[in-house]
């Protein structure tokens, strides 16, 4: 028995040793996979495949590998607009790239300014005599614009191309809150500051409708002009004026309708499209699947052409997404985090700084943190330039006020100079269930603000006065920045949102141009002969790469993309509305201070509060199950 016991212990020890060895090898292999990134050696003769399975944004949101792994659904991918543009520009000059393929099957869109930038980069590729081919099952507005600039736009026989145009309805909760006896206490300044209107009434106010109509008309005109210039023969008038008749005339075949209107060129499935690309780019020697073609990914091409580091570094700090208190981001502009990045550039003695803004605004306190950091930077006599992308409204304009020069595009949405705050109280709702309140006060504002028992008149007066003071401060900041009086700014403020073209006319913007123009201006202002852009931000986390690839690698799909149909497009928009409702409720009930936020600003594709709230992974499920 003693011998047998010793043999057993030996066998257990060997087993444990093998398990430990296998675990060690597993984690070594996992680490290698996690840290793998595209390399220059992966660029081959063939096509550049831009497989945009998600949204194009100014700054992709941070990706939590564990959260993504445990999530109930694959997170939506996000692609930095500047990476897509740079990849296209590199494709125009790299001799290995014979053609560019835009796989838009799962493309969820982006801001109009970003689409215009990508469209211009596509034109650069075509000017270099290289074909650009686009494919999707269903194209919506953003996809239609990109496809319009392609030399060949394909659509699946079961798909189509649809032009919806900007605008639409939003929900108003005023009557619901009245029925529930929930009172929304609103404190605002600005005739057009309509962010709070959904919580007060049953529809838009006349000033809100006027401002939004003017904004959408300008943006819509820019979209149509861009597409018409790229595809002069496209019958946009028919597609946008009588969409039902247009589809009916094609016998209900949306693909044929899109081709007859000139929105797309050819109808074919993924294999047929791949075979066409193969004619131009060559065969994929490692993949014999039908429709496979030689191609390289965007990541590989970018890795093969690292950015220049010659000369002095012009700092670029990005304010993307809602401006919030704290360290949130990237993808959300945490005021403390952004201010720290600006201070880092200051400590690094960067000779000039460009603030890239793509934000509808948010917290006044966080916006002021960012502005003060810019003022600290300017105090050393160095130039600060602002480059506005799709949005730079409310808090997004607040953080722009220290700039000595503001660049924007005609399709940029800016302005919305106004302040508001909103606090719900539930005394009426509680009274329905027999819950009352009583107590003793030592001052008129003891125990206030009380969201359960209601706000006292003194507190309401104080909050309104504080909001008016915040608006006055906003006016003064803009007046100082723009060389105007507060009265002159007030005439174009009042919470009104402007398109970039009108904003330039009324003095809120200095000149048209993109990020490259702003960088060139900043370098010249700093008297730099040679320079390069240095993007400050949160460094990429290599441990996210494996999780991201579990959701589909950008290099996959060489034998053709897959996608959804019109019904799926409608379902996606329905889910977007659900997300928006969740975000509305979060903003009403969330703990927030004074806000400078834009209601009219278009909701850009990407991660939303609603989507985040909706996502329930394994951890959330277990928490609910255990009652945590």
High-pLDDT (> 70) share of the chain, %: 79
Q: What is the 3-state secondary structure (H, E, C) of 5-27?
A: HHHHHHHHHHHHHHHHHHHHHHH
Distance CA 628, CA 622 (A): 8
Query: What is the mean predicted confidence (pLDDT) over 108-117?
Result: 96
Residue at token pair 């904004």: 215
pLDDT at residue 69 in the model: 57
Q: Which of 77, 98, 183, 193 is catalytic?
A: 193
24 pLDDT higher than 80: no
pLDDT band at 406 (very low <50, low <70, confident <90, very high): very high
Question: What was the pLDDT predicted at 611?
Answer: 44
**pLDDT value at position 284?**
85
Residue among 344, 343, 370 at smallest CA distance from 359: 370
Confidence of residue 72 (pLDDT cuts 50, 70, 90): low
Would residue 193 show up in a list of annotated catalytic residues for this protein?
yes
Looking at per-residue pLDDT, the higher value among 511 and 10 belongs to 511
Q: Return the pLDDT at 94.
A: 95
CA distance 370 to 367: 5
Alpha-carbon torsion (462, 468, 469, 470), positive or negative: positive
Domains of the chain listed by start with CATH number? 42-170+208-305+556-578+604-626 (3.90.226.10), 313-433+451-529 (3.90.226.10)
Kindly indicate the confidence band of residue 421, based on its pLDDT and cuts at 50, 70 and 90: confident
Q: How far apart are CA 133 and CA 47, in angstroms?
A: 10
**220-242: b or e for each residue (b if 16 or more CB lie within 10 Å)?**
bebbbebbeebbeebebebbeee
b/e map 611-623, b = 16+ CB within 10 Å: beeebeeeeeeee
Q: How far is CA 482 from CA 369, 479, 493, in A?
A: 20, 5, 13
Task: Give the pLDDT confidence of 31-71 residue by residue, as tens digits.
Answer: 555 444 445 458 899 999 999 999 999 999 876 665 565 56
CB 314 within 8 A of CB 534: yes
Higher local confidence (pLDDT), 503 or 199: 503
Residue tagged 């009916």 (tokens): 248
Residue range 511-537: mean pLDDT, rounded: 96
Query: Is the pLDDT at 617 greater than 50, yes or no?
Result: no
Q: Which of 296, 394, 400, 481 is catalytic?
A: 394
């Amino acid at each position: 028995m003693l011998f047998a016991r010793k043999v057993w212990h030996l066998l257990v020890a060997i087993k444990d040793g093998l398990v430990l060895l296998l675990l060690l090898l597993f984690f070594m292999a996992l680490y290698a996979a996690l840290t793998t990134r595209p390399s220059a050696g992966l660029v081959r003769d063939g096509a550049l495949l831009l497989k945009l399975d998600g949204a194009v944004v100014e700054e992709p949101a941070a990706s939590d590998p564990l959260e993504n792994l445990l999530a109930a659904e694959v997170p939506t991918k996000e692609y930095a607009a500047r990476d897509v543009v740079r990849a296209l520009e590199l494709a125009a000059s790299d001799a290995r790239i014979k053609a560019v393929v835009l796989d838009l099957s799962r493309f969820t869109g982006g801001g109009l300014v970003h689409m215009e930038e990508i469209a211009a980069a596509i034109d650069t590729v075509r000017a270099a005599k290289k074909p650009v081919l686009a494919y999707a099952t269903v194209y919506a507005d953003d996809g239609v614009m990109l496809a319009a600039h392609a030399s060949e736009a394909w659509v699946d026989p079961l798909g189509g191309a649809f032009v919806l145009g900007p605008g639409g309805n939003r929900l108003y909760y005023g009557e619901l809150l009245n029925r529930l006896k929930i009172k929304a206490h609103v404190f605002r300044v600005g005739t057009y500051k309509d962010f709070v209107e959904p919580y007060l009434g049953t529809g838009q106010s006349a000033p809100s409708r006027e401002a939004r109509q003017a904004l959408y008309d300008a943006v819509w005109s820019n979209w149509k002009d861009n597409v018409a210039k790229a595809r002069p023969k496209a019958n946009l008038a028919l597609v946008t004026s009588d969409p039902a008749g247009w589809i009916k005339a094609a016998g209900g075949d949306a693909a044929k309708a899109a081709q007859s209107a000139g929105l797309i060129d050819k109808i074919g499935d993924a294999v047929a499209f791949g075979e066409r690309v193969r004619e131009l780019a060559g065969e994929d020697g490692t993949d014999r699947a039908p429709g496979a073609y030689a191609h390289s990914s965007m990541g590989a091409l970018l890795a093969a052409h690292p950015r220049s580091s010659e000369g002095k570094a012009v700092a670029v700090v990005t304010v993307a997404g809602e401006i919030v208190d704290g360290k949130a981001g990237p993808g959300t502009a945490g005021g403390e985090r952004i201010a720290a990045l600006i201070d880092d550039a200051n400590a690094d003695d960067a000779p000039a700084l460009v603030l890239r803004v793509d934000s509808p605004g948010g917290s006044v306190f966080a916006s002021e943190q960012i502005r003060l950091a810019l003022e600290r930077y300017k105090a050393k006599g160095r130039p600060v330039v602002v480059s506005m992308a799709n949005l730079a409204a409310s808090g997004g304009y607040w953080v722009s006020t220290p700039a000595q020069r503001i660049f924007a595009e005609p399709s940029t949405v800016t302005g919305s100079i106004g302040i508001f705050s909103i606090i719900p109280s539930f005394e009426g709702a509680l009274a329905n269930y027999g819950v009352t309140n009583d107590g003793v006060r030592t001052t008129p504002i003891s125990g206030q603000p009380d969201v359960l028992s209601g706000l006292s008149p003194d507190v309401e007066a104080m909050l309104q006065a504080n909001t008016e003071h915040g608006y006055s401060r906003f006016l003064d900041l803009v007046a100082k920045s723009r060389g105007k009086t507060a009265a002159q700014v007030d005439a174009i403020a009042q919470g009104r949102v402007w398109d970039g073209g009108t904003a330039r006319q009324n003095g809120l913007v200095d000149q048209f141009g993109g990020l490259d123009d702003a960088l060139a201006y900043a370098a010249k202002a700093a008297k730099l002969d040679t320079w390069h852009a240095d993007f400050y931000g949160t460094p990429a986390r290599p441990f996210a790469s494996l999780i991201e690839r579990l959701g589909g690698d950008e290099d996959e799909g060489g034998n053709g993309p897959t996608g959804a149909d019109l019904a799926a497009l409608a379902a996606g928009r329905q889910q977007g509305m659900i997300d928006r409702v969740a975000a509305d409720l979060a903003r009403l009930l969330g703990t927030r201070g004074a806000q400078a936020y834009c209601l009219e600003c278009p909701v850009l594709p990407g991660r939303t509060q609603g989507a985040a709230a909706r996502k329930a992974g394994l951890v959330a499920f277990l928490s609910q199950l255990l009652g945590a």
